[in-house]
Structure 1
Amino acid sequence: MEKISVLIANYNNIRYFRDCYDSLISQTYNNWEAIIVDDGSTDNSVNIIKDIIKNDNRFLFYENSENKGCGFTKRKCVEYATGEICAFLDPDDTLYPAALKKSVEEYSRNKSIVATYSKMMLCDENLKPQNVFGSTKEIYNDKYFFNCPIQFAHFFTFKKETYLKTSGINPDLKSAVDQDLYLKILELGKVKFIRETLYNYRLHSSGISQENSKQIAKESFAYVIYEAMKRRNIKTINSIDVPSIYKSSDEIYFLLNYQTGLAYRLIIKLKSLFR
């Protein structure tokens, strides 16, 4: 069975790291490594994480010379990975015990897939389960799929050999980094939806996806989508021209409004069932 590299980009998340660590050492699948890259934390993360992982050589720890941002740090994580399969785990989140095992097994069953994703549980700050993220569903992956509205997220795993065929994660992105990764990987192959909950997503006030960061994330996601349109050589969508230069997120989301309609969603559902 393949080795899986669990990638952890840390910045000032030491408050929650112990839960993340415990979920990794509790995995039922043993052939894994954890790549941790710290992005200039100021909360004593470096010393505490090093102390927690010091007796387990499956954990490899690296530091950026200064704070570089999410895109740069996650790109570094993949560069350090030695596994055939990679997966990001945020340091404030956790995995279900069988998450790695169930994900890796899919690659053995189907050699043509390049990625997997599953359902995730939304939890409160103390990691108490609240409800399963309801938007996750089976997707129809074609050149017009942009994960907008969001239909898949964690737990996402991907073949490193596929990643190396892309331009890689944009190091300049501060948010929407995962979306950048998803769209680039899905341009190169099939993805498998695991209809089980494998990931605990912690909701807390300092999280990057919380209210105070949503507008920045919205802008970044629009730019990521625009870049994907350019890579895919999409000139028009529904007879509307794709802008030659990125100007605003509103232009991009306007192009994709039709994908929220009932008729479109029904067509995609039927395509997914009968492909």
Structure 2
Amino acid sequence: MEKPLVSIITPSFNSEKFITETIQSVQNQTYKNWEMIIVDDCSTDQTVSIVEEITKKDSRIHLFKLIKNSGTGIARSTALAQASGKFIAFLDADDLWKPEKLDKQLDFMKVNKLPFTFSFYDCINEGGNPLNKRIEAPLDLSYQQLFFCNYIGNLTGIYEANYFGKIAVSPIRKRQDWIQWLTVLKKIKTAQPVPESLAFYRIRENSISASKMELVKHNFAVYRTHHHLNLISATLCMVGFLFTQLILKPRYSKTIKASI
């Protein structure tokens, strides 16, 4: 019996330094029934030409190009519209999957009868070198916990489209992944991660994840625009968010040895 199709959603923008390695990490999966849908957000470097060459050799990889720069949310939404898999997975154009990522995660979902799961992940720097930091999460993650801290690395999340439908991606430019996982948890109440690292998250210089002030600004915007909270309520939520980050921050190990 053929294994179910997994649709991999990948937005790209000026990713020429990383996109080949990212695609190779998908091609190296032990699980072979997948499609990778790359939507380029008007790159000005060689990203498009690199992907076009790869698509000539692998029919599972599909490239779509936006006609104007619109942000990650629109790119992901465009890719989602093209997806036909039973499962929807996400991988940004500079991150990497470990070879058994899909196999292990889908097996975990099947054995535990879960419509959604995610995993731990390791951090690497812009050059691909390990930062000796593994991001973990509660083994029974609740909506309330996720509300104050995005424990779910977008590159690790997989959901079953037959259960949720295609979950709409917010058009906002930043933090739409957090909104998506909040939508998931609002329906299923709790989520369980595969309790091991299955991916590498690349922390790039000047990225949102590297800038704490930018992170605070965009998280505050989520409380205001997505949750429709007034100024006072959104501010109180940000206090809770900062408390979580500084006091109850996601667990991580500083002693891992990450190999790509």
1:108 alignment partner in structure 2: 110
How many residue pairs get matched?
Answer: 245
- Residue identity matched to 1:132: K
Residue of 89, 92, 97 corresponding to 1:90: 92
Once the two structures are TM-superposed, the CA of residue 160 in structure 1 deviates from its matched residue by: 2.1
The structure-2 alpha-carbon separation of the partners of 1:27 and 1:221, relative to structure 1 and needing over 3 Å to count, comes to same
1:175 alignment partner in structure 2: 174
Runs of at least 4 residues off by over 6 Å = 260-263
Residue aligned with 2:84, SS: coil
1:29 alignment partner in structure 2: 31
The structure-2 alpha-carbon separation of the partners of 1:247 and 1:72, relative to structure 1 and needing over 3 Å to count, comes to farther
The structure-2 alpha-carbon separation of the partners of 1:139 and 1:68, relative to structure 1 and needing over 3 Å to count, comes to same
2:235 alignment partner in structure 1: 250
- Are 1:7 and 1:86, in contact at CA under 8 Å, matched by a contact in 2? yes
1:137 alignment partner in structure 2: 138
The structure-2 alpha-carbon separation of the partners of 1:205 and 1:248, relative to structure 1 and needing over 3 Å to count, comes to farther
1:100-148, Cα deviation, whole Å (9 max, x unpaired)? 111111232233x221111111112222222233453324324x23342
CA distance in 2, matches of 1:51, 1:187: 41
Matches within 5 A, 1:101-250: 101-111=103-113, 113-142=114-143, 144-153=144-153, 154-164=155-165, 166=167, 168-171=168-171, 173-189=172-188, 190-211=190-211, 214-226=212-224, 229=227, 243=229, 245-246=230-231, 250=235
- Are 2:150 and 2:178, in contact at CA under 8 Å, matched by a contact in 1? no
Identity of aligned residues (%): 24
The structure-2 alpha-carbon separation of the partners of 1:67 and 1:225, relative to structure 1 and needing over 3 Å to count, comes to same
Where does structure 1 lack aligned partners over 5 or more consecutive residues?
231-242, 266-275
1:26-46, Cα deviation, whole Å (9 max, x unpaired)? 100011110100011111211
Normalising by structure 2, what TM-score?
Answer: 0.83
- Are 1:136 and 1:150, in contact at CA under 8 Å, matched by a contact in 2? no
- Residue identity matched to 1:178: D
- Are 1:135 and 1:150, in contact at CA under 8 Å, matched by a contact in 2? no
The structure-2 alpha-carbon separation of the partners of 1:106 and 1:2, relative to structure 1 and needing over 3 Å to count, comes to farther
1:2-35, Cα deviation, whole Å (9 max, x unpaired)? 2111111001011111110111111000111101
- Residue identity matched to 1:220: H
The structure-2 alpha-carbon separation of the partners of 1:60 and 1:262, relative to structure 1 and needing over 3 Å to count, comes to closer
- Residue identity matched to 1:177: Q
Deviates more, 1:174-183 or 1:199-208: 199-208
- Residue identity matched to 1:219: K
The structure-2 alpha-carbon separation of the partners of 1:250 and 1:60, relative to structure 1 and needing over 3 Å to count, comes to same
CA distance in 2, matches of 1:248, 1:43: 42
The structure-2 alpha-carbon separation of the partners of 1:255 and 1:128, relative to structure 1 and needing over 3 Å to count, comes to closer
The structure-2 alpha-carbon separation of the partners of 1:134 and 1:59, relative to structure 1 and needing over 3 Å to count, comes to closer
- Residue identity matched to 2:18: Y
Normalising by structure 1, what TM-score?
Answer: 0.79
CA distance in 2, matches of 1:170, 1:110: 29
What's the C-alpha RMSD, in Å, of the aligned pairs?
Answer: 2.7
CA distance in 1, matches of 2:14, 2:246: 40
Query: Which of structures 1 and 2 has the bigger CA Rg?
Result: 1
Deviates more, 1:251-260 or 1:185-194: 251-260
1:214-235, Cα deviation, whole Å (9 max, x unpaired)? 43332222333456656xxxxx
Residue aligned with 2:107, SS: helix
CA distance in 1, matches of 2:242, 2:215: 18
Once the two structures are TM-superposed, the CA of residue 259 in structure 1 deviates from its matched residue by: 5.7
Where does structure 2 lack aligned partners over 5 or more consecutive residues?
251-260
1:269 alignment partner in structure 2: none
The structure-2 alpha-carbon separation of the partners of 1:2 and 1:226, relative to structure 1 and needing over 3 Å to count, comes to farther
1:12 alignment partner in structure 2: 14
1:43-86, Cα deviation, whole Å (9 max, x unpaired)? 12111210122111100110111101111111112111111111
The structure-2 alpha-carbon separation of the partners of 1:158 and 1:197, relative to structure 1 and needing over 3 Å to count, comes to same
- Are 2:119 and 2:196, in contact at CA under 8 Å, matched by a contact in 1? yes
The structure-2 alpha-carbon separation of the partners of 1:108 and 1:66, relative to structure 1 and needing over 3 Å to count, comes to same
CA distance in 2, matches of 1:162, 1:55: 33
